[in-house]
Structure 1
Amino acid sequence: MKNWKFKMASTILGSTLLLAACGGTDEGGGTEENGSSTAGEVEGSVIGDGSSTVAPILEGIVEEYAGAQPGVQVTVGVSGTGGGFEKFMQGETDFSNASRPIKEEEIAALEEAGIDYTELLLAYDGLSVVVNAENDFVDNLTVDELKKLWVEDGSTKMWSDINPEWPEEEVIFYAPGTASGTYDYFNEVILEEGDIESTATLSEDDNTLVQGIQGDENAIGFFGYAYYIANQDTLKLVPIDGVEPNDETIESGEYAPLSRPLFVYAKNSSMSENEAAYDFMQYTIEHAGEMAQAVGYVALADEEYEEQLAKLEALK
């Protein structure tokens, strides 16, 4: 396993990310050090899309899978959870990455399109609230303060509105775009279906958010924990109700309400009819825990991964 945590800052890409597994050779039939999910070499192509939050896990897996199965071309776009499901509904992809559970209207659209799918759990994430590294006054926020900050109320938000001891400076907001599962999750547990602050810069590319917050002392934003880990030297993590996201608080649920599961949705027909798609998905589940921990997320328990593999095997 490469040192992905230190590689992340330069390799997490944006909404046009293409991850191609197309290199490496192995005279032993595709069962080199990384190991192949199935015996012997596999050939073919696999296409996925979806969440930028899940992307760091898949980026690492795709690169390592290239060494195990050089005959398989894997391409993964990053259109956000909602954008990925749109492509999934159109039959353009074999799997879709998601940082939230599939919505009822998406389920209905897939049923109408005749696309059966299987939900597979990959890891856990703690949605992280961050401010500029030079911010020396925000050391904690409550859930109520988050709501006061982020819900649109027609006013110009000042830091002093949240705490009179804080500067009378306008708050600069950065948030995931509306096609992002991260936005959906934040909307559900913090905004509670209210409108997000109208001045916020929205982007499905989490790197845009990182760079914006790095560049303004009055900035605040939120995104997946791995993006904080990759940029922790230049961002300041804000505890919520006194609890910071980390492996223990995310896994236990203590970091509430911002802990969440990360998923991949596999197209059943691709898993049963496309050997390459099945092989890659099996490899993904087998390596998701190790890669999740390497890039800054939290792995499932071993028995949970065994359950996901059993669900996948049932599709073969």
Structure 2
Amino acid sequence: MATCKARYLLISVVIFSSSCFKEYKGKINIDGSSSVYPLTEAVAEEFREVEPDVRVTVGVSGTGGGFKKFLRGETDISDASRPISKNELASSKQNGISFIEIPVCYDGMAIVVSPKNDFVKDITVAELKTMWSAESQGKITSWKQVRSSWPDVPLNLYGAGTSSGTYDYFTEAINGKAKSSRGDYTASEDDNVLVQGVSSDKNGLGYFGLAYYSENKSKLKLVPVKVTNNAPAIFPTEETVQNGSYQPLSRPEFIYVNAATVNRSEMRKFIKFYLEQAATLSKEVGYVALPNEVYRLSYKRFLNSKTGSVFADKSIVGVNLLELLSAD
């Protein structure tokens, strides 16, 4: 009797498994930047509707963590909020991983405080450097030390973790050198953690991708940035990010495609779909679309299997994508 029951349970499990686990005709594995994630996941959701037989998974481990997986051949696409670094380029050559670099949107990095903060109306690039430079660690601990008219209350900082592309870009744009930053702040590769931290801390200030501010406007106060003391305070908007007036915190974001996957039919369909939908979906998730010509040139690079990075030995701060891609 026990044996019959065991056989019945086994048969039931087999039937259940075969009905619940779908066989896919193609799979695409994506990981990387938390900043690029909202756009890539939005594209993946739309793509699943038109290509239900292709399984697309999108993970978040930060730009640096994503590149580590990508350069070990564990993923097909790596989301990145900065260009591939020199060390990562060396790893790609050592591991025999060729890639195609594709910009997908612009992002205006958001500087945010809690809605309970009633004294910050704007902030300068120099003041951000005072807050975030490596030399400020353990020394700049009060808002009043940054601007004399601000109150003498604790300065609590929230920012990207060290494996994040957002961290690399912010430190280069504000401190003048990538990865140069104070370390005594609340760090996370998960921007939702930073949102929660800043929103509940009236003495906090943080930075992350604009999409995460757009999703949490009721919880956060956006701070406009002044390049110099006498310059106008600029908010990150579609117009100011695309025309370059929100500086130096406007940046392009990318996907990197393993060149070995280019001839897979599901990959060709996905990249074509991604670049066709990126402009519309960028706006929906809170980012800024690239010029149509940039999407066209990027798709041409993909079809021609144009490998390598156009940013080798170039700074990304204030970059003109159209000029770079047209000259490549």
Shared fold by TM > 0.5? yes
Give the structure 2 partner of residue 5 of structure 1.
none
Give the structure 2 partner of residue 99 of structure 1.
81
Matches within 5 A, 1:74-93: 74-93=56-75
Give the structure 1 partner of residue 261 of structure 2.
270
2:296 is aligned with 1:306:
yes
> 1:212 is matched by which residue type in structure 2?
G
Matches within 5 A, 1:224-303: 224-241=209-226, 242-272=233-263, 274-303=264-293
More displaced 10-residue stretch of structure 1: 191-200 or 45-54: 191-200
Give the structure 2 partner of residue 129 of structure 1.
111
- Whether the aligned pair in 2 keeps the contact of 1:282 and 1:312 (CA below 8 Å) is no
**Deviating 4+ runs (over 2 angstroms):** 191-199
Distance 1:43 1:279 in 2: 13
TM superposition shift of 1:111: 0.9
Matches within 5 A, 1:18-97: 43-97=25-79
Q: 1:39-93 CA deviation, whole Å, 9 max, x = no partner?
A: xxx9210101111000000111111111100000011111111111101110001
TM superposition shift of 1:305: 1.1
> 2:168 is matched by which residue type in structure 1?
D
3-state SS in 2 of match to 1:56: helix
Q: 1:13-55 CA deviation, whole Å, 9 max, x = no partner?
A: xxxxxxxxxx9xxxxxxxxxxxxxxxxxx92101011110000
Distance 1:83 1:71 in 2: 28
Give the structure 2 partner of residue 205 of structure 1.
190
- Whether the aligned pair in 2 keeps the contact of 1:156 and 1:170 (CA below 8 Å) is no
Pick the aligned partner of 2:166 from 182, 188, 202.
Answer: 182
Distance 2:63 2:197 in 1: 22
Question: Greater helix share, 1 or 2?
Answer: 2
Change (3 A) 1:156 1:48: same
More displaced 10-residue stretch of structure 1: 138-147 or 153-162: 153-162
> 2:64 is matched by which residue type in structure 1?
G
Distance 2:162 2:267 in 1: 29
2:152 is aligned with 1:161:
no
Q: TM-score, normalised by structure 1?
A: 0.84
Give the structure 2 partner of residue 196 of structure 1.
181
Identity of aligned residues (%): 44
Q: 1:115-138 CA deviation, whole Å, 9 max, x = no partner?
A: 111101101001111000111111
Say how many residue pairs are matched: 275
> 2:107 is matched by which residue type in structure 1?
D
Give the structure 1 partner of residue 200 of structure 2.
215
3-state SS in 2 of match to 1:255: coil
- Whether the aligned pair in 1 keeps the contact of 2:63 and 2:82 (CA below 8 Å) is yes
Distance 1:296 1:54 in 2: 11
Change (3 A) 1:301 1:195: closer
Q: 1:119-169 CA deviation, whole Å, 9 max, x = no partner?
A: 011010011110001111111111100000112323151011112221111
Give the structure 2 partner of residue 171 of structure 1.
155
Distance 1:266 1:143 in 2: 34
Distance 2:126 2:240 in 1: 20
Query: What do you get for the CA RMSD once the two structures are aligned?
Result: 1.6
TM superposition shift of 1:283: 1.1
TM superposition shift of 1:311: 1.4
Distance 1:251 1:82 in 2: 26
Q: TM-score, normalised by structure 2?
A: 0.81
> 1:155 is matched by which residue type in structure 2?
K
TM superposition shift of 1:195: 4.3
> 1:114 is matched by which residue type in structure 2?
G
Distance 1:255 1:112 in 2: 38
TM superposition shift of 1:281: 1.8
- Whether the aligned pair in 2 keeps the contact of 1:81 and 1:179 (CA below 8 Å) is yes
The structure whose Rg is larger is 2
3-state SS in 2 of match to 1:233: helix
3-state SS in 2 of match to 1:96: strand
Point out where structure 2 has 5 or more consecutive residues left out of the alignment: 1-19, 227-232, 307-328
